Structure 1
């Protein structure tokens, strides 16, 4: 794909300092633009990308916090979710930050970024609630031998099915990230694998195979932790681009594998 020209006029007169800034042009490649906004668009002069801050890194920070904290809880490093301060960090830092980013992305019209923030915010919150024993969600399945109901076959099988559905949701998003770059595609593919791995853990719990359930749970938590590292890397890439740091952070551009539609869009933008 050819570089996209983003013309914008910056005529500035400063009588005290005698400065005069003439109109100029800035060239931003499609890869850099998609790094910064996760949206394959051609911005126009004076549009929101120049008037508002990019909220995407804020959402990635929330994503990293949620993913890393969640992996700690799943792998048993954070203690009981209902009693551990780790759970407080998980619920009131990561998802809240992602919800703020979701709203800002919606205001700015960044469709895909908005969908990503909303998807992960809901996932972390909904699945995180299942890990809080104080909510007593398994009580309807309680028995004299299992007063909490969380060890029942029905309860764990239901969570397993729930995670299978989430895995297909992440797989769908993975298909669309193949239009962008390898880092995002890997994040979604690994998250899908992690949720299916955790689904297997819950199904093994429902069958009474606690040893295999424990192994799968730790494997799923490890994959989620790897996803959090990739999320932090992507956040760093976007922040470096916004701060104009002259260092090429590779993300594995995949846009050249797709038919180019930017030429037609660019012509339409310049004709306005």
Structure 2
């Protein structure tokens, strides 16, 4: 496949059949044709063909979690920049995965300080850099989300750094452990509000993209509740924290799924990660219109 045709691997919108007059969808003569194998590959994945009818320099692609785009966009494949979204998604996923397992009580680990290294180096710094590159490729949503969650992990690491910034120690010295738990709960509620705002922006995108923010939103909400609504021993509520850990794991795996969808294409993979669009999304509606016209 040419580079222009490969850029359509993230587009799941309908493409009408070629006309018999040899004219493409933009009124210009078609100069290239797909081979039978390429047409079959496109039809197997998208349910239509050929792809050569679309001018990739002009067409906007559909919402896609693999490029952290909840709305119509132009693929980064035609630019000099690579797609930074999978890097940021992987950084977020691994850090969230480890912390969520600790919140669920895996291997009887009670202190999350091992996450400090990941939160500084991978979930924080690398995700922040990925967010800045999203700004460079013109993706406002991706830049806002990845940079913000990179900042979240950096701030999380600052709070938990043993003997470093002494934030937890100073709060506990002023009002005991309960004051720190309440403060940390408010910190988490703030991120719950921010994630809810981003969640609304994914409602017309893919199911996997929406689920990433849905699971993350529940994670922040339950963690905030768990730290503020403590148990009889005045400790963070274990059942609520464990439930938050479960949804955190779901968010981590969904982030990895979106990352793989952004990485895998015909140049490096034998399969393409399927993406599912909501029935009310522009892609689903255009498919319905195409079927009705057929």
- Give the TM-score, by structure 1 length: 0.72
- Asked whether 1:92 is paired with 2:105, we answer no
User: Does 2:226 correspond to 1:201?
Assistant: yes
Does residue 34 of structure 1 match 2:64? Answer: yes
How big is each residue's C-alpha offset from its partner over 1:18-67, in whole Å with a ceiling of 9 and x where there is no partner? Answer: xxxxxx947479776624433334539xx873322111111111111221
Distance 1:198 1:35, change over 3 A: closer
Structure 1, residues 99-126: CA drift from partner, whole Å, max 9, x if none? 1211211111111111121122122222
Query: Which residue number corresponds to residue 18 of structure 1?
Result: none
Distance 2:61 2:73 in 1: 12
- Superposed CA RMSD in Å reads 3.6
State whether residues 156 and 206 of structure 1, in contact with CA within 8 Å, keep that contact through their aligned partners in structure 2: no
Contact 1:32 1:241 in 2 (8 A): no
1:72 Cα deviation (Å)?
A: 3.3
Aligned to 1:51: 80
Corresponding residue for residue 80 of structure 1: 111
Paired position in structure 2 for 1:165: 190
Asked whether the equivalents of residues 31 and 253 of structure 1 are also in contact (C-alpha less than 8 Å), the reply is: no
Unaligned runs of 5+ in 2: 1-12, 17-24, 32-50, 287-294
Return the alpha-carbon distance in structure 2 between the equivalents of residues 207 and 128 of structure 1.
28
Q: Specify the alignment match of 1:139 in structure 2.
A: 169
- CA pair 141-247 structure 1, distance change in 2 beyond 3 A: closer
Q: Give the 5 Å matches for 1:103-182.
A: 103-134=132-163, 135-142=165-172, 151=177, 153-182=178-207
Specify which of 240, 243, 257 is matched with residue 280 of structure 2: 257
Q: TM-score, normalised by structure 2?
A: 0.67
Residue in 1 that maps onto 2:90: 61
- Please tell me whether the aligned partners of residues 205 and 213 of structure 1 are also in contact (alpha carbons under 8 angstroms): yes
Distance 1:126 1:53, change over 3 A: same
Count of aligned pairs: 237
Q: 1:248, CA displacement in angstroms?
A: 4.4
Gaps of 5+ in 1: 11-23, 264-272
**Deviation for aligned residue 1:224:** 0.6
**Residue deviations 1:148-194, cap 9 Å, x none?**
9661x322112212212211111111110112111111111111111
SS in 2 for 1:193: helix
**Other-structure match for 1:21:** none
How far has the Cα of 1:81 moved from its partner?
3.9
SS of the equivalent of 1:253 reads coil
Gap change, CA 1:228 and 1:110, over 3 Å in 2 = same
* TM alignment of 1:4-19, pairs within 5 A: none
Give the one of 243, 248, 260 matched to 1:236: 260
- Comparing 91-100 with 121-130, which one deviates more in the overlay? 121-130
Q: Cα deviation per residue 1:170-224 (whole Å; 9 max; x = unaligned)?
A: 11111101121111111111111111111111113387443x7122112211211
The C-alpha deviation readout for 1:219-269, integer Å capped at 9, x for no partner, is 211211111111111111111137364634233213x61468xx9xxxxxx
Cα 1:125/1:206, change in 2 over 3 Å? farther
